[in-house]
Every structure is written in structure tokens, then in C-alpha cells.
Amino acid sequence: MQPLPLNVYQDHDTLTVAQLLLGCELVHESPDGPTAGIIVETEGYITGDPACHAYRRATQRNAAMFGPAGTLYVYQIYNHYNCINVVTGPEGVGEAVLIRALEPTEGIEQMALRRNEAFKTGFERYRNNTIDADTADGFRNLANGPGKLVIALGINRQTHNFASLTDKTGDTSSIFIRGPVLHDFEMVTTTRIGIKFGAELPYRYYIKGNRFVSKK
């Protein structure tokens, strides 16, 4: 299946893109092999939204949000986790869709390796932690949160901030979205998670009943 074309990202408003991405598959073709998962949960961040990183002004951190639609904004949060956003809206406008959870579909072993490696090199206190992808709990735990899915797919800010989702020329580590691979699901619209301002805005979307959604 081919990557979603550019017009999907640039011909719709941000909140529409957030809904369109549900059921599509996020793919990372890394040197370690491909890993992929179905997007089951997203949040929109738009102009005039006090929770949006671009609410105040363009800075070094949020610069990617002001880039063209169909590129990635990767930022670091809470010390050492990363989250990924799909940039939307015209160039110069800081809007994006946060990918919050994936249902793993490809490269399950590799995802478990990366998550376990993150434990080893991360906090000292997690050094003895392991995720067994063969158990139901372990499998569910691979990418059911924005920080987790970034680790599972091997995404990092240095190589993927500003990266294009539609232009795959010459990449050794390319990311794109294809699909949709899931159809006929019910979507739930609700409020966003983990924010203080704009918490009442219903910009969060997820696939009803999907067990990989980070939080109901």
C-alpha cells in the first residue's frame, strides 16, 4: 500500500485530519527493519488553542509545527520521552495532530527489543524491567501511549523532526502513513489528556472499543 498523498494532510483542517488518520497505519522503515502500527488515538492542536505548543509564538522547539503539512514535529516531554505530531495547516500556521497510540502490526519483536532497550538505558530503577510481547499485557503495552510508540518505532527527534511523510527520496530511515487499513469502526470524540489549559476542548479522537487506546 502506498503512503497517503500530500493532499490528505493539506486539503483538510487539522481536526479533520486527526479523524482521518484513525485506522491508518504508521510505518517506520528503519535500518533495523520495518515496524508499524495502526493509529487508534489522536489529538488535534490548533491556532487559538491554549494547549497548543504554537499558541504563543514560534520558537526553536516548535518550529516544525509551522512547516508545511505532511511533515513531522517531534518534541521532548517530561525529561526524556518524545512525542510525534503530524503537521497540518498551511506553512506559517502552527497546527498539528498528536499520535497518541498504535495497535502494533509489523515488527513486533523489534518493538519489544526497543522498548526493553529503553528500560536498560533509561532510569536506573527500571533496569530490571522487561516487556514480553508474547503475553497479552506485554503486547498491549508496546505502543499504547505517545511516549511508548515513539520508542517502539525507533523514532528520535534528531532524525525525524521536520521529516516528510510523503517524500521518501533517499531515506535510510523513512516514516510514512498508509491506509486506511481499518474500516467500519466507531469513533469516540472526547477531551484531551494530560493538559491544563484548553482541557475542555473536545479535540481527542479514538477508535471505540480498541484495547490499545491509552486511556478511556
Partner DNA sequence: TTCATGATCTTCT
Partner DNA sequence: GAAGATCATGAAT
Residues that bind DNA (CB under 7 A): 43, 45, 51-53, 56-57, 59-62, 65, 76-81, 83, 85, 96, 98, 115, 119, 123-126, 129, 141, 145-149, 192-196, 214
- In the numeric block, the cell 505502543 is attached to 143
Instruction: Provide CB contacts within 8 A for 32, sequence distance 6+.
Output: 110, 154
Measured from the CB atom, is 1 or 199 closer to DNA? 199
Contact yes or no for 96/88 (Cβ under 8 A): yes
Measured from the CB atom, is 119 or 162 closer to DNA? 119
How near is the Cβ of 101 to DNA at its closest, in Å?
A: 8
How near is the Cβ of 18 to DNA at its closest, in Å?
A: 11
Measured from the CB atom, is 137 or 186 closer to DNA? 137
How near is the Cβ of 51 to DNA at its closest, in Å?
A: 5
Instruction: Provide CB contacts within 8 A for 87, sequence distance 6+.
Output: 9, 64, 65, 67, 68, 69, 70, 71, 72, 73, 95, 96
